Structure 1
Amino acid sequence: MAATVYSGRKPRQSHTAIHRTDMGVWPAERHPTRWDVEEANQVPSSDLTERFRSALLYGEDDDLVATALTFDLEDYALQDLPLSQTGYTYPMILLSSLPKLPSDYDLSTISHSYAQIFEEHAFVKELGVGTLPVSARPPHLQLAIACVAAAISDPSVDGTEGSVAGDLFHAGLKLWIVILEVDNREARNAKAILAALLLSTYGTLSPDLLIRMKTSALICNIVTMCRRLRLTDPALSAYTTLNITERDLAGKSSLLCYMLLVDTMHALQTNDIPKYSVDELAFTMPQSGHSFRTTYIGILHGCDLPDDLSATEDALLLLTALLAHSLYLQKSFEAPFAVQTPPHCSPYRPLCLETEFTNRQATINAALNVWEARFGNTMSQDVLALFHFTRLQLLVPQISDLSLFAEQQLVGGIAPTFHDIPPEAVKLAWSVLANVEDSPTIQGKKLATWLPVVLYLAALVVWRADSGDGKNGGHGGSFSEVPDEHKSPHSAWETPDPGFWTRNGYAIVRADEVGLGQSPGVLDTMSRGTSLAFAGVIEWAADQPWSSGKVLKNQYGRPGRAAKGWCPDTIEGSLDDDTLNKNCHDQTVENAQSRFLDDDYYATRDYNMADIEVPLLSVGNWGGILLHLRGNVEGFVNAGSAVKYLRFITGRHDLPFYTPECVELQKSFLDAFLKGDDPKGWSRGEQPLVEYKVRVGDVGFNDAAAEAIYPTRSAPAWPPPNTQYTKYYLTSSHELTASHDDAITSQGTASFEALGNLKHPRLVSFTSKPFDSEVEFTGHIVTHLNVSVTAHEGATSTPSDIDLFVTLRHLDSSGKEIHYTGTVGDPVPVTKGWLRCSLRAVDTSHPRHKPWLPYRTYRSSDQLPVKPGEVYGVDLELWPTNVVVLPAEKLVFEVSSGDTQGAGLFEHNHPVDRSTEKFAGVNHVHFGNGRENWVMMPVIPTSGK
């Protein structure tokens, strides 16, 4: 595409009818497109082209433009009508100062990327853009194709000015404007609409504000063109001339569907109202052939959808329309809600507005229920992400304001008012993120335009809810969810509220850890020195005149409580950041540097749990599969306490500490051992030693009220003594089966790339058949795998280790994964486990080693070699868990080379610890030749419940 292109500099105001077009504004005074206007079908007159020449010359760069216009515009009038020519011969010389463009070869390569990736997008394939021969593609369409392809095929392109995709956008837009100005017939050419639509796709996703502004104007033009071509008019066929035929618009409905999708996403990004009105879209749905208007009105009135409506494109169209409808609703009521009703006005006016708004919200929500009932179990994860986002947008109508809110919070300035995020919205946001994470990626040869938009806004919802003011981590918004009896001016994060506990006869001592708050010294978390400091605080508290001498140690909080809305951090203020950084050890750095338990770093952190003798109540959370859960169990099992109890709960990490049920548990235990008031028999062993919540059914996640229905079960020991450890075997056909015969006949390998991560997971999975009956699994899980690693062909380095990540997932009867509540309210699977193959050695002679829980010392002397191509049998523990699988439900066992969905905040991504030199290659699970791969599950028999 060797050409010079018009720079887009602003011409000075002229007395001609030609107006500036550099910002993408339609040249409003000369673009006749009505079928009954004779000029619409005529080649531009010499007078018109001369006026156009004059307008361009009357600019800041007179010499440059004058040189560019030495080409005779009259020559353009001699070319044939577009449909009769084999190629386009637009006067490219009109355009000068083109940004750097790829060569013709590069353009061809980028276009191939478009065909391979973007052409599979919903609605786009029917448009036939990728099948057009290059000779039939006008230059502006070729640039638009290259723009989109460059943005999605090169992850290094950031979309800002100067990037390949950004340059292509600016060049394509300038060329599009000039082409339509030179020949008004192009305003009725389907290819011009397609070019503008593809440019708008990139503009919607670009981080560049100027590009998004230009895209807004471009979308206005597209909508106008579509309306004037009667594409949205149900009573008339498409307007046709020699420029445009029914053949050109064979994908009319797909074009409108994709236009609606891009328009809606752009409105979300720019906090604007969609340019299309859903009410004006009356056309045939792309796959089913049903009338869109009739179907949409029906779903709004709660009618069932037609039986043959099942295609992804039709489902996506209805969903996009509902989202656009909700955006219209928000903007329609935005201004009235912003008006404060004067005291002398009727007090019922705002009430009526709010009632009407709520009623219309309910109508859209009801329509979403109809949509979910029909499509919820059949749609791909990317479509489900959009579905959950639509519900989220209804619940948080001001969601698009979060971008500005976040920007002002992070860089300073006055942020707009933003109300607290309700818990239900956080749950929906996590549902969006979970489905985005599982969606097809570019590697899967598919790109969903809406995913970047919904990912960004849903992530902002989680950020806002978790950070409170947007500056600190943690559950800043969770204080609003704490029961009122635990709220006071002295409330602190993750610590007992003094107001409540002093009313119940307790004194609360809140001590800053060494190096934090008002405690001088060097911060060295979890060290012997820190432990001794806490011991000193306990002894001090026991000696005070107001103390009975009996002290309970509870978990402690963090600095930054005030910023989260909990309470002032300290009486006199905390250390500033510079002083704090100088007075602390960075645990993340030291953990990376100290890889083995016999390193000096751990010498002061390795405790003998048998030395613990005080009464102990350990409360673990089934959803804390990457935080405290394993420690809760190990601490309980190995503590030397004569009186100790173990409890398992569900829910987030922060809130259960304050719920009535859990507070009563804590209070009765403390009353027993600190006050001698023990009606429940804690000190006499009358309480169950082990008690746990039974996770049965799909109640959703991050919903404490829903999880309250989980039944409670008790056991006389841990693990439950009646546990039946049952092996489920992995097969080369990716099955998880209880049949040993299937395992011994299985041959082959299951392979996956090394060094996977959350963004690009690399894994193999094994799925069970639907269960015939209800089965409860409670306790420890261990898996045995036969693994190897090989280098990539032609690789210069040889892998010398394997990282194994395993996950157990639970599918309902429809095949949809059941998620549970994670540490921060995120959706997590049943449980997870990890192992580095070089540390596979197991100490079977150690008293803590059990068949269901292999014991490792993790010392430097335990390292074993890992040689490429050699098969190693490894035993790997998964963290303790509980799950009930109902009839027709399934289990999935996942083996990966890195973090997968559910890792949340706790990723394993240190570049030194997981280097490409050591791990890059292909991992394999081997079957046959006497090798068995299995997962040993803790089955609780029905008779023992």
Structure 2
Amino acid sequence: MGYKDNYKPLGAITTVDEGDGRYIARINEEFEVGDGDRIRLNVFLPRSGGPRFPVLMTATPYGKDVPYIHNEVYKQSARDIPEIMKSKHLCWEAPAPSWWCPHGYAVVIMDHRGSGASSGKSRRFSTQDWDDYAMAIEWAADQPWSTGKVGLTGISYLGLNQWPTAARQPRGLTCMVPWEGMGDYYREGSRHGGMHHGFIDGWYHRQIKRNHYGSQNRSDGCWGPTSPEGELCDSELDELHQDLPKLLLENEWIDDEWYKDRMFGEDYSRIQIPLLSAGNWGGTGLHLRGNVLGYMRASSQYKFLRIHTGRHDLPYYLEPYITYQKSFYDCFLKGDDYDGWKTGKQAPVAFAVRRGTQTPGSIQGELEYKYRDEKEWPLARTKYEKYHLTADNMLSREKPSVAATFSYQAPAGEGIRFSTPVAEEEYEVTGHGHVRLAASLTDNEGEADPDLDVHVALRKINAQGNESLYSSSMGTPTPVVFGWLRASHRTIDPNPYPDSFHLPVPVPSHKKSDKKEVINGQVYDLQIELWPTNVVVEKGERLVLEISPKDPAGADPFACHDPIDRDERKLRGTNNVHIGEGYESYVVLPIV
């Protein structure tokens, strides 16, 4: 007997919890999707005002009923959340009903199909999630407690799912705030430069399956209640869940069949609602690029880009970030534009300027940098300066007069570094850069099709000779920015997205039809995108470009070290970078 045989009539499982004096909770509201699966949602209503409220909505794969503040996995992170945000109904990376409901908003948290209490097959990062989410928005707009205006919110997956859902233009959707949410699953979420990174192989995949509807893995009491249809055995859960780690290893190319409905080919120019895209300079392995490009690609009349620093979950709940979220929603969901989102008082772009060194992972680290307003992105005054690699390991604005070859062993040897001169006066790097290398692979033994993986990192060295480290979005120390490229993926696509816009860096196509051979001893032109970044180089400081055959320090947890993807037989040998004699090896920095 399948789980669908245990369904009760629609609406029969909904319960009301009035135990928190800040809101009324309606647990397991539900509607049916076309194939008979049930989408379950928790609705939190203010205790005063109304009877209709604007809606803040999010959709999660992590379980809407999994408690954030008491769960063993999340509790260390939850300790840093302000007390006013905490309640038994707060879940991971989602809005806090205890804060938003007293401010006059209904909060709706939906379980994506095949997760939490929602039944069906889990198809993360796919059109199934976006189509279901669009249906849920229209459901929320039609409820008797709703004004018909819905704003999207949430962090990470709860942010990335907003881009393709908004492109579907569901009725009632009025505005969106994707908080650290990528927009290109292949380039930003599963493969860096064509190389598979292991984040989804580990914690992410386990969490989704553990939080699934009916899972028996709830013995510690921290994973929410068993679903209304009862528990499922491991074999049943395996049937409902795709094995993401296996599928990501089997599908290397963006035009593989499996990727076709996974944020590939989405037209974000169809996003026309007011948009506040919130990225993180420390999100150099996940999300940041998507927040910036999503902002650039959207057609919204009112669109805003904000880039903060620090651990990814904290700013969403902290001042002053929560206050500007509220003023954005007050403007577009309540019609109260006291902060000037429509009048020009709010700058289209504002970001933290990274001067000095941050304290990685600390709450204070979120607030150490001053913000600057700008009129556009990329900044119109940007000068794209070439810094050429030279024979004495320097980065020079002059082309090298001496030829040289720098070599290192792949796949796990130590890389090479090149340094700018010590700054005689301050300058700022802000925007999109890239690295171009004349590179070759030699000494490969030919046991498998040869290939060459290049990892690059940009680091800042302070006047005392120490590296200035920054907080990654996970709160760990990280350098300024990263870039990646697998040589067989070196074909550049002049129009990588359906909604054409200008991105001032080379973007590989990653299509199997564009795969390029790597021949032992032949020199190739490799163009490597650096993710968007910002750093101030003060007097006495310098920048260092690191080129490596493996993950540079600070790349975790978004490291590319899977032994199957990084087959030593393919990568083993000597990697060489060539300069002079007509070779092009340089880094382009966006100087403002």
Following TM superposition, by how much is the alpha carbon of 1:528 offset from its aligned partner in structure 2, in angstroms? Answer: 0.7
Identify the residue that residue 163 of structure 1 maps to in structure 2.
Answer: none
Identify the residue that residue 564 of structure 2 maps to in structure 1.
Answer: 912
Whether 2:425 is the aligned partner of 1:826: answer: no
Whether 2:348 is the aligned partner of 1:720: answer: no
Whether 2:130 is the aligned partner of 1:531: answer: yes
CA distance in 2, matches of 1:815, 1:563: 50
Whether 2:528 is the aligned partner of 1:876: answer: yes
1:391-446: CA deviation from partner (whole Å, max 9, x where unpaired): xxxxxxxxxxxxxxxxxxxxxxxxxxxxxxxxxxxxxxxxxxxxxxxxxxxxxxxx
Give the number of aligned pairs: 463
1:230-289: CA deviation from partner (whole Å, max 9, x where unpaired): xxxxxxxxxxxxxxxxxxxxxxxxxxxxxxxxxxxxxxxxxxxxxxxxxxxxxxxxxxxx
Following TM superposition, by how much is the alpha carbon of 1:918 offset from its aligned partner in structure 2, in angstroms? Answer: 1.7
Whether 2:382 is the aligned partner of 1:745: answer: no
SS of the residue 2:591 aligns to: strand
1:631-678: CA deviation from partner (whole Å, max 9, x where unpaired): 111111112222211110001011111002110111111111111111
Identify the residue that residue 886 of structure 1 maps to in structure 2.
Answer: 538
CA distance in 2, matches of 1:507, 1:567: 26
- Whether the 8 Å CA contact 1:744–1:930 is kept in 2: the answer is no
Whether 2:144 is the aligned partner of 1:545: answer: yes
Is the alpha carbon distance of 1:563 and 1:826 closer, same or farther for their aligned partners in structure 2, counting shifts above 3 Å? farther
Is the alpha carbon distance of 1:470 and 1:640 closer, same or farther for their aligned partners in structure 2, counting shifts above 3 Å? closer
Following TM superposition, by how much is the alpha carbon of 1:727 offset from its aligned partner in structure 2, in angstroms? Answer: 1.2
1:38-85: CA deviation from partner (whole Å, max 9, x where unpaired): xxxxxxxxxxxxxxxxxxxxxxxxxxxxxxxxxxxxxxxxxxxxxxxx
Is the alpha carbon distance of 1:609 and 1:867 closer, same or farther for their aligned partners in structure 2, counting shifts above 3 Å? same
Whether 2:290 is the aligned partner of 1:631: answer: yes
Following TM superposition, by how much is the alpha carbon of 1:843 offset from its aligned partner in structure 2, in angstroms? Answer: 2.8
Whether 2:75 is the aligned partner of 1:476: answer: yes
- Whether the 8 Å CA contact 2:69–2:86 is kept in 1: the answer is no
SS of the residue 1:660 aligns to: coil
Whether 2:254 is the aligned partner of 1:593: answer: no
Following TM superposition, by how much is the alpha carbon of 1:531 offset from its aligned partner in structure 2, in angstroms? Answer: 0.8
- Whether the 8 Å CA contact 2:456–2:552 is kept in 1: the answer is no
CA distance in 1, matches of 2:317, 2:530: 29
Q: What letter matches 2:410 in structure 1?
A: A
Identify the residue that residue 921 of structure 1 maps to in structure 2.
Answer: 573
1:515-541: CA deviation from partner (whole Å, max 9, x where unpaired): 111111110101111111111111111
Is the alpha carbon distance of 1:917 and 1:617 closer, same or farther for their aligned partners in structure 2, counting shifts above 3 Å? same
- Whether the 8 Å CA contact 1:493–1:566 is kept in 2: the answer is no
CA RMSD in angstroms, aligned pairs only:
2.6
CA distance in 1, matches of 2:523, 2:101: 61
1:873-903: CA deviation from partner (whole Å, max 9, x where unpaired): 1211110000001111111101111112111
Whether 2:367 is the aligned partner of 1:708: answer: yes
- Whether the 8 Å CA contact 1:695–1:883 is kept in 2: the answer is yes
Identify the residue that residue 789 of structure 1 maps to in structure 2.
Answer: 441
CA distance in 1, matches of 2:389, 2:504: 18
Identify the residue that residue 232 of structure 1 maps to in structure 2.
Answer: none
Query: Structure 2: which 5+ residue stretches go unaligned?
Result: 1-67, 159-206, 212-216
Is the radius of gyration larger for structure 1 or structure 2?
1
TM-score (norm 1): 0.47
Identify the residue that residue 85 of structure 2 maps to in structure 1.
Answer: 486
Following TM superposition, by how much is the alpha carbon of 1:850 offset from its aligned partner in structure 2, in angstroms? Answer: 5.0
CA distance in 2, matches of 1:563, 1:829: 38
Is the alpha carbon distance of 1:927 and 1:620 closer, same or farther for their aligned partners in structure 2, counting shifts above 3 Å? same
Q: Of the candidates 613, 617, 622, which is equivalent to residue 281 of structure 2?
A: 622
SS of the residue 2:137 aligns to: helix
Whether 2:587 is the aligned partner of 1:935: answer: yes
Identify the residue that residue 649 of structure 1 maps to in structure 2.
Answer: 308
1:601-637: CA deviation from partner (whole Å, max 9, x where unpaired): 1211221111222211110000010011011111111
1:440-466: CA deviation from partner (whole Å, max 9, x where unpaired): xxxxxxxxxxxxxxxxxxxxxxxxxxx
CA distance in 2, matches of 1:469, 1:495: 15
1:325-377: CA deviation from partner (whole Å, max 9, x where unpaired): xxxxxxxxxxxxxxxxxxxxxxxxxxxxxxxxxxxxxxxxxxxxxxxxxxxxx
Identify the residue that residue 809 of structure 1 maps to in structure 2.
Answer: 459
Identify the residue that residue 421 of structure 2 maps to in structure 1.
Answer: 769
Moved more, 542-551 or 556-565: 556-565
Is the alpha carbon distance of 1:595 and 1:685 closer, same or farther for their aligned partners in structure 2, counting shifts above 3 Å? farther
Identify the residue that residue 410 of structure 2 maps to in structure 1.
Answer: 754
CA distance in 1, matches of 2:388, 2:338: 48
Whether 2:476 is the aligned partner of 1:855: answer: no
Is the alpha carbon distance of 1:611 and 1:515 closer, same or farther for their aligned partners in structure 2, counting shifts above 3 Å? same
TM-score (norm 2): 0.74
Share of identical aligned residues, percent? 38
Q: Which has the higher contact order (CA 8 A, sep 6+)?
A: 2
Is the alpha carbon distance of 1:491 and 1:798 closer, same or farther for their aligned partners in structure 2, counting shifts above 3 Å? closer
SS of the residue 2:328 aligns to: helix
Q: What letter matches 1:733 in structure 2?
A: D
Identify the residue that residue 690 of structure 1 maps to in structure 2.
Answer: 349
SS of the residue 2:119 aligns to: coil
SS of the residue 1:481 aligns to: coil
Q: Which is richer in helix? A: 1
| Correspondence list, 1:544-583, <5 A | 544-555=143-154, 569-570=224-225, 572=227, 578=234, 579-583=236-240
